[in-house]
């Protein structure tokens, strides 16, 4: 009986790490500040240090605006990692996703993320 309880406990701990969460909760050191939030959008200031990783988290449909150049490795749930080079001033629209992100460059990356709360597109 003890081994079944131990197995169940381990599964619960592991599953908690697989479930994606709000980025401001899993990475408050990266998602520095919520600049604006209402019932339609949430605008966040983000800064990712070199080699820093944001663990699994989710976004509804969202926009990303790069404030600096950088190189990211983005791993969407169930997919292989993709390397993305971003340039300051570049804006991207992204559909709802669960992913993790790593700064694989040599300098901090700064950007603004705007989550759209009222629209969610499925891939």
User: What confidence tens digit (pLDDT) does each residue in 78-123 have?
Assistant: 999 999 999 999 999 999 999 999 999 999 999 999 999 986 666 6
Strand partners, 31: 46
Taking 80 as the threshold, does the pLDDT of residue 66 lie above it?
Answer: yes
44 domain-assigned: yes
pLDDT digits (tens, 9 = 90+) for 21-54: 999 999 999 999 999 999 999 999 999 999 999 9
Domain count across the chain: 1
| pLDDT score, position 15 | 43
* Range(s) of the domain holding residue 40: 20-116
| pLDDT score, position 2 | 52
Q: How far apart are CA 76 and CA 59, in angstroms?
A: 11
25 domain-assigned: yes
Q: Considering Cα of 53, then 47, then 114, then 84, what sign does the dihedral take? A: negative
Identify which has the larger pLDDT, 106 or 3: 106
3 domain-assigned: no
- Strand ranges in the chain using DSSP code E only, listed in sequence order: 31-37, 41-48, 53-59, 62-66, 70-76, 82-86, 91-94, 97-103, 109-116
2 domain-assigned: no
96 domain-assigned: yes
| pLDDT score, position 6 | 44
Global confidence as pTM: 0.79
Looking up residue 35, the CATH number of its domain turns out to be: 2.60.120.10
C-alpha angle with apex 49: 33 to 69, nearest 5 degrees?
A: 90
Residue labelled with tokens 């790490």: 17
78 domain-assigned: yes
| pLDDT score, position 118 | 81
CB 68 within 8 A of CB 45: no
């Amino acid at each position: 009986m003890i081994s079944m309880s131990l197995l169940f406990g381990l599964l619960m701990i592991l599953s908690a790490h697989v479930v994606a969460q709000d980025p401001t909760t899993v990475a408050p050191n990266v998602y520095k500040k919520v600049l604006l939030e209402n019932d339609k959008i949430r605008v966040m200031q983000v800064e990712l240090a070199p080699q820093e990783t944001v663990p699994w988290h989710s976004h509804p449909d969202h926009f990303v605006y790069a404030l600096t150049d950088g190189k990211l490795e983005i791993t969407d749930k169930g997919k292989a990692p993709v390397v993305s080079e971003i340039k300051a001033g570049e804006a991207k629209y992204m559909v709802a996703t669960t992913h993790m992100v790593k700064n694989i460059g040599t300098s901090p990356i700064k950007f603004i993320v705007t989550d759209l709360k009222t629209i969610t597109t499925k891939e």
